Amino acid sequence: MKKNDWLPLARKLDWKFKYVTEAEVFPPQMSGTPWLKHHDWKQWEEPYKTTYSEYVRGQAAKDAGLDAMREAVGNSEHYKTLSPAWLNSLKLYGATFPLAEFAATIGNLRACRFARDSAWRMSACFGALDEFRHTQIPLLLMQDLVKIDGQFDWTQRFYHTNNWVAIAARHLVDELLLTSNPIEFAIATNFVFETGFTNLQFVGLASLAQGVGDKMFEKMVKSIQSDESRHAQIGPAVMKILVQHDKEYAQFLLDKWFWRSWLLFAVVTGFSMDYFTPLEHRKQSFKEFMEEWVLKQFLGTLDRFGLKKPWYWDQFLQATENYHHMVYASAYTYRATVWFDFVVPGPEERKWLKEKYPGSWPAYEPIWDRISECWRESDPGNDLAVHGTAIVTFCELCQLVLSNGTPNQNSACESVYQGKKHIFCSEPCRRIFEAEPERYCDHKDVVNRVLTGEAPANVVALIRRYFGLDYDTWGKDVYQGQYAWNPADKKGGDR
Ligand code: MN
Ligand code: MN
């Protein structure tokens, strides 16, 4: 039989239950709310329809393409020819994405069983297979690189540690991917994360990888994105029905997950685009990629559903000019607390950043002036000479350092819940917490872990014993602070 003769029937295999009620088969705790009868979901339709045999054939061809590329350029010799600054994009991606993709397998599998229409469940089943692929491919490719650089071992290790970035990433991933019901998963993951944001990392960053000469990364993320764009269509299909029945909830989920996703991509993609990509290979700034993929394309999607921009839109626009610069500067001065290395933007990079961020960059100049000055005055090669020593404070929602706002005005704020004071990096994080405080209030951030004796208070002990790093793997300045444009002040400084 031809596909079109049988697929329309096979996609829709829902039936009436005789011995149990629909609510027993699809309890709201597992299937999500608003809880509607199947009658209301049966118009659910994915625009791109596929069969299992088509799926398998297509995926096998993609994997063959990747194998051929791995054969040609996947070896460690090739990686030694790439910019050492760029490699940190891979370390950041390798640690934060592959095992989160595995969590997305689980989120999809829940939808596979508890989503409310059979076509939706089948699409989620393909999504689960996709996400498992997105776990395996980078784990395999990054494993090859461990022998050239032990920091790549964090591809496997990261989510199994109590590193502060891992605590933040788990806080997001646990909620977004592991515990979401199929409705929240479809809006948060398929609609916001995969329709709005993954293009930044998988299309935008892939185009930079091409310039850098990292063909393997380019091929890998493009291959991953081809799956994402297929299963992301679950999101708009669910959104279409959700807005008809509970538009307010749809807007709530959109506002919440747009902000949470933004913070993650600002760090992972923002650092890679504006700091780790060598200047000669930069095409657009992170903000320009945001404008293209998120502001233009995604906002158009919101319009189609009659949804509004998130309420914090002005704060978000200000954050696109500042947030990743704030976190990068802050993380640079605490680089031994992470598993990848950093670079100081030199005069040429700073000129470029000023052109791209005319309204915000001048406020960052004094920070980098001061860091450059510290390097000039320190002993060559003493990486910890230019490093913070006190434990910093974290947001109790996103678990990242309190680095929202601008260098002149940090936007940290507080909220009291059940007599306990909580601190947040920004108003959106505070309001997300306040909307579902019981969901978040028992989570301990790093500072609370120190205060309760779970984690050591001394920074070096914290890094070694709690974050799981040692001298070989912790983050350093890629060039040990020795830049031709920043010669040492010291007499006899031989660099
Ligand atoms: Mn994926
Ligand atoms: Mn996905």
Neighbours of 81 (CB within 10 A): 9
Ligand 2 centroid distance, CA of 382 (Å): 42
* Closest ligand by atom to 133 CA: 1
Residues with CB under 5 A from ligand 2 (ion): 194, 228
Per-residue pLDDT tens digits for 414-464: 999 999 999 999 999 999 999 999 999 999 999 999 999 999 999 999 999
Q: Is the pLDDT of residue 360 over 90?
A: yes
Provide the angle, in degrees to the nearest 10, between the axes of the packed helices 118-143 and 87-96: 140
* Residue range 355-364: mean pLDDT, rounded: 98
* pLDDT of res. 493: 47
Ligand 1 centroid distance, CA of 128 (Å): 9
Comparing 72 with 29, the larger pLDDT belongs to 29
Ligand 2 centroid distance, CA of 54 (Å): 19
Ligand 1 centroid distance, CA of 20 (Å): 35
Q: Which of 17-21, 202-206, 223-227 has the lowest mean pLDDT?
A: 202-206
**Average pLDDT of the residues of the chain:** 94
Ligand 1 centroid distance, CA of 265 (Å): 14
Q: Are 395 and 411 in contact (CB under 8 A)?
A: no
Ligand 1 centroid distance, CA of 134 (Å): 5
Largest CA distance in the chain: 88
* pLDDT of res. 207: 93
CA-wise closest residue to 342 among 332, 333, 334: 332
Residues written for the chain: 495
* pLDDT of res. 490: 64
Per-residue pLDDT tens digits for 148-182: 999 999 999 999 999 999 999 999 999 999 999 99
Ligand 1 centroid distance, CA of 220 (Å): 11
Ligand 1 centroid distance, CA of 104 (Å): 7
The structural domains of the chain, with segments of one domain joined by +, span 55-466
Percent of the chain beyond pLDDT 70? 99
Percent of the chain beyond pLDDT 90? 88
Ligand 1 centroid distance, CA of 361 (Å): 33
* pLDDT of res. 293: 86
Ligand 1 centroid distance, CA of 428 (Å): 26
Ligand 1 centroid distance, CA of 254 (Å): 20
C-alpha 457 chain-centroid distance: 28
* Residue range 72-76: mean pLDDT, rounded: 83
* Residue range 114-131: mean pLDDT, rounded: 98
* Residue range 25-32: mean pLDDT, rounded: 97
Per-residue pLDDT tens digits for 300-326: 899 999 999 999 999 999 999 999 999
CA-wise closest residue to 400 among 68, 220, 86, 172: 172
Ligand 1 centroid distance, CA of 370 (Å): 40
* pLDDT of res. 47: 92
Ligand 1 centroid distance, CA of 131 (Å): 4
The CATH architecture annotation of domain 55-466 reads: Orthogonal Bundle (1.10)
3-state secondary structure 342-375: ECCCCHHHHHHHHHHCCCCHHHHHHHHHHHHHHH
Separation between Cα atoms, residue 458 and residue 455, nearest integer Å: 9
* pLDDT of res. 199: 87
Bridge partners of residue 171, in order along the sequence = none
